[in-house]
Structure 1
Amino acid sequence: MLIGLGFEHPLLVGAIGIGLLVLLVFLGVRVVFAAAIVGLLGLVELIGWGPAAGVIGIVPHAKSTIYALSVLPMFIFIGFVAFHAGMTAQLFNAAQKWLGWLPGGMAVATVLATAGFAAVSGASTATSAVFSRVAIPEMLKYGYDRRLAAGVVAAGGTLATLIPPSAILVIYAIIVEESVGRLLLAGFLPGLVSALIYALIIVLWAMIRPEAAPSVPGATWGERATSLPPLIPIMLVVTVIISAIYQGWATPTEAGALGAGIVFAVAIFRGVGVKSITASLMESAKLTVMIFSLIWGVTIFVRFLGFSGVAEAFTAWIVSIDAPPMVIMICILLAYAILGMFMDAIGMLLLTLPVVYPAVMALGFDSIWFGIIVVKMAEICLVTPPIGLNCFVVNAVRPDIPLPDVFRGIMLFFIADVVTIIVLLAFPEIVTWLPDLMRN
């Protein structure tokens, strides 16, 4: 054991554990297993087998019974049923009718349609998978560069991390013990800002290189008008969820259940079969189990960090740095950008927040604001190589578009994300305005 080698200091044990975890992740071990194994070994080293087994034994039950987590399967189910009910295609069709005439109009329509679907989905990878089937064939049919077509779908899917209902915002709220409702509301305006910046950069790029993103024939006003009624169920779900949380007459879980009930009723009315409903339930269960398993594994590692004292030491070190808090914040975000190249978004937040969050609070930053900023960083990580989960999803659905082309296609949107981060750092009111209204 480490004690026999002279490593009796808990901080040193914690540092070795962090290094071992990073090594395992680099070697390709899944975060859930790497975190659980390192956490177990670290706890055994610090407190012994018996106490370590006791700590680890209560983790699954303790984390599974958190009421706020029950919102996750609701949000995920909404997204899968909406897809099977044809709402996704109708969103894209309406956006195409209204915006296709713009330079790069089909790509702009894809961004706004993914934003709309994000408002009923909450799952980034699901959004990318759905629009890989719906939007990419249409863009390629009109002569779009396949890299741009793939990139806009991969990047558009990331909007689901900010626009409520967002699964990752719920997880952040649980980790830092913040209000789920306030965080979901806080993501609404930044999500819209992010979508608008995506759209703007597409238009500018299409004006520079029109052959990469040609405009499509404009639709008549009659065609545009007829594209709107099918969107009523989606608008109803979004309105119910947002207003229920904002007005306080339902918890986020209850609002998610209402939204799921509305989407389910619409699906039945539209004749969605038992097979599709069963598939939606199975996919929702699989994704929910994956998220819960990740939470369990990482929580074991977090317990180990708590016994080692790493979080407290890191906080003391951050506060002692002789630099403006915003400079320190930018350095933290750069560290997230690097870490996100090698870890998935949820795992990254689960592992880092127990250490980073106390330090950020000690610097005087707002908890809600930091949550949106760090989730936006996690959003960037969903499209950056080598992990870039959304890019892998697009490639899996469209194997005719090579993975390197997908990664090249997201470069425009990486620039847009950097611009969005700068905007949110410069104008924190974009994040805090809606939650403050709720509190008041």
Structure 2
Amino acid sequence: MDNIDIGLAVSAGLLFMVVIGVRVAFAAALAGLAGLIWIFWAKKGYDASQFVWALTVAVKTAGSVPHSKISSQALSLIPTFILIGYLAYYAGLTKALFEAAKRWVGWLPGGLGVSTVFATAGFAAVSGASVATSAVFARIAIPEMLKIGYDKRFAAGVVACAGTMASLIPPSAILVIYAIIVEQDVGSLLLAGFLPGAFSALVYGALVVVLALSFKNFGPPVRGFTWGERFKSLPGALPIFFVITIIIFFIYNPFGGDAWGTPTEGGALGAFVVFLMALMRGMRWPQFKDALLESAKLSVMIFTIIWGVLIYVRFLGFADLPGVFADWISGLEQSPMLTLILILMAYAVLGMFMDAIGMLLLTLPVVFPAVIALNGGVGVTAADSAFGMSSTGCAIWFGIIVVKMAELCLITPPIGLNCFVVAGVRPDISVQDVFRGASPFFIADALTIAALIAFPGIVLYLPELLLGG
């Protein structure tokens, strides 16, 4: 067998392990190590006396991955973004956001559902973790909706789906991981996520209104708030926008000149500001300890997936699968846009069996070069490209779209993590009910993805305006 055959066989074994329930991190690490041993041993003609040599080289190669890749400074953004979210919860900012949203848009049909979507979008702008966002709003929003007669499945579905926006709205841990894997600028990716994230929130909100108008008593509105009460709710939500402003200035200085610092420094300063807010609002040592522990647990989970999958990615490099796949994709006799849509459909299927981070880490080393090849290759200009954008613009545009596709993993049965989190926080609501409540939002996600494909300017406007890229 040549290297390509070995790569395909090992990849099939990885998919089998994932389907039978092996954690992605461990399945990828095992598959990558086995593949490296296989390739090195094959180079020696499967000589039995050379097996120990192949094993030794493979272990050394795999062993160099965790430190060399995880020590990247850009990845230090992930724990700081996650910490911001947990500290914001203990600072009471989530309740303040939800209360402000309720007073301003609660009068709409399905008003509390719309309020949940917009409050979640605001919280997502300081939290890089979808799971944490869903867990927080399951405690805050669902009781409010149930109290006035919302269907429990719909209430749970709104929270689970709205929580996925933390994957897209900066600061996003998944966008950081995407930037590292495809070697793109983190700041550009984070900026590119703002408008698609806001657009996604508007589509979710519109869907809630349509459902509430279509079904009687589906989502009763909340009325009775005066203009004075509405304006009184705003100061409690302003700290969120203050933290967002800090992060934006550290990515890019809108007033011209050099940025204040790196995105990593912006994330650290944002965490410190939210920490001070939490202290002023009554956070004590037990809450602070919980925030640190929850941040550490989620960070360790993400980093474990990263290093496990990167061992498999190192094996893919030796097998040369990314190059072969890119050549095959670019050689198909069909329109590049149709090929892109088929790739996205494959992501929708994979999302039924993998978590979002694991899926992107496993596929991007193969799929990303193929998409760039479809567009015309590295260094292509917008005028000569298939998708009407430069190779850098294509990398950013595809990143936002594929992260939006990854959001589907968080609400797709059988392993939609957000749905399990909401059901875990609310024992009175089964995970089956959460999945049923989330199902209408697949329509909203499909419309959002279609709009991002049809109108790339939604993604590229901010990066081109502020960074000139």
User: Which interval holds the TM-score relative to the shorter structure?
Assistant: over 0.9
Report how far residue 244 of structure 1 moved.
2.3
Q: Distance in 2 between matches of 1:405 and 1:322?
A: 44
Aligned residues: 433
Choose the corresponding residue for 2:288, options 277, 280, 288: 277
Q: Distance in 2 between matches of 1:113 and 1:250?
A: 28
Q: Distance in 2 between matches of 1:383 and 1:321?
A: 32
Q: Residue type matched to 1:219 in 2?
A: F
Choose the corresponding residue for 1:376, options 395, 398, 404: 404
Identify unmatched segments of 5+ residues in structure 1.
1-7
Which residue of the partner structure matches residue 404 of structure 1? 432
Q: Deviations over 1:364-417 (max 9, x none)?
A: 150000000000000111101111110000000012111111111111211000
Identify unmatched segments of 5+ residues in structure 2.
41-53, 254-258, 376-386, 388-393
Choose the corresponding residue for 1:313, options 314, 321, 324: 324
Q: Deviations over 1:229-262 (max 9, x none)?
A: 1112111001111232122222110110111111
1:82 equivalent to 2:88? Answer yes
- Contact kept? 1:310, 1:355, Cα under 8 Å: yes
TM-score, with normalisation over the residues of structure 2? Answer: 0.91
Q: Residue type matched to 1:41 in 2?
A: A
TM-score, with normalisation over the residues of structure 1? Answer: 0.97
Which residue of the partner structure matches residue 299 of structure 1? 310
Which residue of the partner structure matches residue 222 of structure 2? 216
Q: Deviations over 1:126-175 (max 9, x none)?
A: 00000000000000001001111000000000000110000000000000
- Contact kept? 1:115, 1:163, Cα under 8 Å: yes
DSSP 3-state at the match of 1:169: helix
1:157 equivalent to 2:163? Answer yes
Q: Residue type matched to 2:4 in 1?
A: L
Q: Residue type matched to 1:230 in 2?
A: G
Q: Residue type matched to 2:371 in 1?
A: V
1:337 equivalent to 2:348? Answer yes
Alignment of 1:422-437 (within 5 A): 422-437=450-465
Choose the corresponding residue for 1:353, options 359, 364, 375: 364
Q: Residue type matched to 1:390 in 2?
A: N
Q: Residue type matched to 1:375 in 2?
A: V
- Contact kept? 2:195, 2:458, Cα under 8 Å: yes
Report how far residue 342 of structure 1 moved.
0.4
Which residue of the partner structure matches residue 148 of structure 2? 142
Q: Distance in 1 between matches of 2:340 and 2:301?
A: 31
Which residue of the partner structure matches residue 382 of structure 2? none
- Contact kept? 1:103, 1:210, Cα under 8 Å: no
Q: Distance in 2 between matches of 1:439 and 1:229?
A: 31
In terms of mean alpha carbon deviation, does 419-428 or 227-236 score higher? 227-236
1:15 equivalent to 2:8? Answer yes
Structure 1 runs of 4+ with >4 Å offset: none
RMSD: 0.9
Report how far residue 96 of structure 1 moved.
0.5
Q: Distance in 2 between matches of 1:65 and 1:244?
A: 21
Which residue of the partner structure matches residue 78 of structure 2? 72
Q: Residue type matched to 1:245 in 2?
A: I
Alignment of 1:143-222 (within 5 A): 143-222=149-228
Which residue of the partner structure matches residue 269 of structure 2? 258
Which residue of the partner structure matches residue 256 of structure 2? none
Report how far residue 438 of structure 1 moved.
2.5
Q: Deviations over 1:201-220 (max 9, x none)?
A: 11111111131111122311
- Alignment identity in percent? 60
